[in-house]
């Protein structure tokens, strides 16, 4: 089913929803742009959505501002990814005094493991921080140590053992949609039926898109399904759709690629003649530029991993993000 058909399904679904008595829309805060779009698709005019990490933003390194604290304080509902993506969320919730309901969109999803090396890097960072804070305390710098500890907590991006990018499998996106719909229905029972009907239409569009993606990739021989990206954000996509994603960085953009990792990928690109090399919309492209320069490969385009584009870009919604990524990957792997 084409993107035009899927968009028509969503617009048609919105047009035949029953009209409820006028009520103020509920205020929903979504942690990052992909969730913000999902809430808008299901919530329609019954919600006002504020997204903390906006288009092309990186939730891995996000630092909440006083504006974000106020947004949570005024919210009726908070929607977050879970799986350790928003390490800064507990501190933000505490600072805002928010006591309302929170939807963890990934609830019910079986997570895949992140890289062991990245976990070790986080442990080393935490140990170094503890030693630094202890040294500051020993020298009588209590106030500075406290401020440093606060900053570290606000920056807390340790994803733990799991890869948080579960939305990169459309079957998981359907779970996200169901969790969001259930949260909206509970927070705003007066519009429960509208949320239910919109979510059913949205899930239908995601199901059709999943089938379209599988059909497109099925035409590509398995040995040719190899893609190089900036960081390891496509593990769920790889498992679901049979693509081998190769990345110099781990599941968090905070992890740094080693020289050995970069050299290994350059050799692999040369040896296996990998054509599909992509930058990501949230990542500094210098590392990919180095890899393509030294391997002789060509950057095939931009994939959207952790954030949507702005409204005028190629991926302003979750559905359009998958369409963009599908087009880019299929074109690179087929030479089209």
Mean pLDDT value of segment 194-208: 98
pLDDT the model gives residue 2: 60
Query: What is the structure's pLDDT at 282?
Result: 79
Collapse the DSSP code of 7 into the 3-class scheme (helix H, G, I; strand E, B; otherwise coil) and give the result: helix
Do the beta carbons of residue 72 and residue 93 sit within 8 Å?
yes
Start-to-end C-alpha separation, the chain: 20
Per-residue model confidence (pLDDT) at position 153: 34
Q: Which of 231, 229, 232, 332 is nearest to 273 (CA)?
A: 332
Cα separation, 180 vs 188, whole angstroms: 12
d(CA 331, CA 11): 29
* pLDDT bracket for residue 7 (50, 70, 90): low
Q: Which of 59, 273, 84 is nearest to 161 (CA)?
A: 84
Q: Tell me the per-residue pLDDT of 24-52, one tens digit each, with 9 for 90 and over.
A: 999 999 999 999 999 999 999 999 999 99
Contact 17, 42 (CB under 8 A): no
Q: How far is CA 266 from CA 22, 41, 140, 261, 276, in A?
A: 59, 41, 49, 9, 13
3-111+159-207 adopts what CATH topology?
Answer: Rossmann fold (3.40.50)
Is residue 114 within 8 A of residue 159, CB to CB? The reply is: yes
Q: Render pLDDT for 290-322 as a digit per residue (tens, 0 to 9).
A: 888 888 888 888 999 999 999 999 999 999 999
How do residues 51-102 score in pLDDT, each as one tens digit?
Answer: 999 999 999 999 999 999 999 999 999 999 999 999 999 999 999 999 999 9
Question: Which secondary-structure segment (H or E) carries 27?
Answer: strand 26-32
Say which CATH architecture domain 214-334 belongs to: 3-Layer(aba) Sandwich (3.40)
Per-residue buried b or exposed e for 277-289, using 16+ beta carbons within 10 Å of the residue's own CB = bbbbbbbeeebbe
Q: Residue 274: what pLDDT?
A: 86
Tokens representing residue 287 in the block: 């590392």
What span, in angstroms and rounded, lies between the C-alpha atoms of 18 and 194?
7
Model confidence at 229: pLDDT above 90: no
């Amino acid at each position: 089913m084409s993107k035009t058909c899927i968009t028509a399904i969503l617009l048609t679904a919105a047009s035949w929803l029953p009209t409820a008595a006028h009520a103020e829309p509920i205020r929903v805060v979504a942690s990052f742009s992909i969730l913000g779009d999902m809430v808008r698709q299901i919530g329609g005019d019954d919600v006002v959505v504020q997204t903390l990490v906006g288009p092309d933003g990186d939730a891995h390194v996000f630092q909440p501002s006083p504006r974000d604290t106020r947004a949570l304080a005024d919210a009726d509902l908070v929607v977050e990814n879970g799986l350790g993506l928003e390490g800064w969320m507990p501190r933000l919730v505490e600072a805002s005094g928010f006591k309302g309901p929170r939807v963890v969109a990934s609830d019910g999803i079986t997570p895949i493991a992140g890289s062991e090396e990245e976990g070790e890097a986080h442990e080393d960072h935490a140990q170094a921080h503890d030693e630094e804070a202890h040294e500051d305390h020993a020298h009588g710098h209590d106030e500075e140590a406290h401020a440093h500890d606060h900053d570290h907590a606000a920056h807390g991006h340790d994803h733990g053992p799991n890869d948080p990018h579960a939305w990169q499998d459309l079957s998981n996106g359907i779970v996200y949609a169901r969790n969001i719909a259930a949260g909206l229905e509970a927070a705003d029972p007066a519009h429960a039926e509208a949320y239910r009907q919109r979510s059913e239409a949205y899930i239908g569009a995601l199901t059709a898109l999943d089938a379209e993606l599988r059909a497109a990739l099925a035409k590509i021989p398995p040995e040719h399904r190899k893609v190089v990206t900036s960081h390891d954000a496509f593990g769920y996509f790889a498992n679901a759709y049979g693509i081998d994603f190769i990345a110099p960085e781990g599941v968090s953009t905070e992890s740094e690629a080693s020289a050995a990792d970069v050299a290994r990928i350059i050799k692999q690109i040369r040896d296996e003649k990998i054509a599909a090399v992509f930058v990501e919309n949230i990542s500094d492209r210098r590392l990919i530029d180095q890899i393509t320069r030294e391997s002789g490969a060509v950057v095939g385009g931009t994939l959207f991993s952790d954030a949507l584009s702005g409204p005028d870009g190629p991926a302003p919604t979750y559905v359009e993000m998958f369409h963009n990524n599908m087009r880019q990957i299929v074109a690179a792997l087929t030479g089209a």
